[in-house]
Amino acid sequence: MEHNFKQYLFFFSLVFITFKSEAQFKDTAKWKALFAVGVNYPTTDGFVKGSYAQSVNFPTVNLGIQHMLTRQYGVKLDYGFNRFKNHKDTPDFKINYSRVNVQFVYDPTEYLTFLPMRLRTVAHAGPGLAFVKPLGVLRDNKQTYLNINAGLELHYAINEKVAIFTDIAYLYGVTSLDDYNPALSGLGAFNGSVFNLTFGLAVSLSGCQFCD
């Protein structure tokens, strides 16, 4: 009898620990810091005729602070830096593309019941400002314009406080290329959109805010 009692006690303890762990990993922290690095691709239509960038450029660096208002909805403020350079078949240039965006955040994970316990998906979108600065002798062709950032993140929780994630984002430039005559006088100018692929860490800055 005592042996059976110990077996039942062990079984229910194991079930309790499992459900407690699952609840912890599904809880959303109120504040998070996000840091990610990766690569970028600037669209060719953002450059003057006769120039375009490499298909894959490094680095892309994103830094952000995220605040969840509920388990599903939140906002974040983030800064992004992209460096891209000319393709080998075009004249030389290097460009720093920086941005600041305020974004709406939506976490639909609780409806995606097929996902493993530690995985979360987060969609984000919002407006911002893009700052384009060509380097070297081309620095006069700098621009500032509106952009819209939209993307999807996939998070894997290492523990209650830290998750690794990947983010696929599209930075749409609300702009059009100036009329340069001759065209190469606009070398280093970029009025276009950028694709980002990054990998990073999300760190909770507060305890569990929306625990059941």
Ramachandran assignment for 33, one of left (phi > 0), alpha (psi -120 to 50 degrees), beta (any other): beta
What is the phi-psi region of residue 72: left when phi exceeds 0, alpha when psi lies from -120 to 50, beta otherwise?
alpha
Q: Report residue 182 CA to chain centroid gap.
A: 37
- Both tokens of 187, joined, read 């070398």
- Where in the chain are the domains? 31-204
Q: How many CA atoms lie within 13 A of 197 on its CB side?
A: 6
CATH number of 31-204: 2.40.160.20
Tokens linked to 45: 């239509």
pLDDT tens per residue across span 156-211: 999 989 999 999 999 999 999 888 888 888 899 999 999 999 999 999 997 654 44
- Indicate the Cα dihedral angle 203, 206, 207, 208, nearest 10°: -80
What are the tokens at 58? 């490094």
Q: Per-residue DSSP letters for 110-131?
A: GG-TTS-TTEEEEEEEEEEEEE
Give per-residue pLDDT as tens, 66-108.
999 999 999 999 999 999 999 999 999 999 999 999 999 999 9
Q: What are the tokens at 53?
A: 């960038």
* Least trusted range by pLDDT, from 21-35, 84-98, 124-138, 153-167: 21-35
DSSP result, 134-185: E-GGGGGG-EEEEEEEEEEEEEEESSSSEEEEEEEEEEEEE------SSGGG
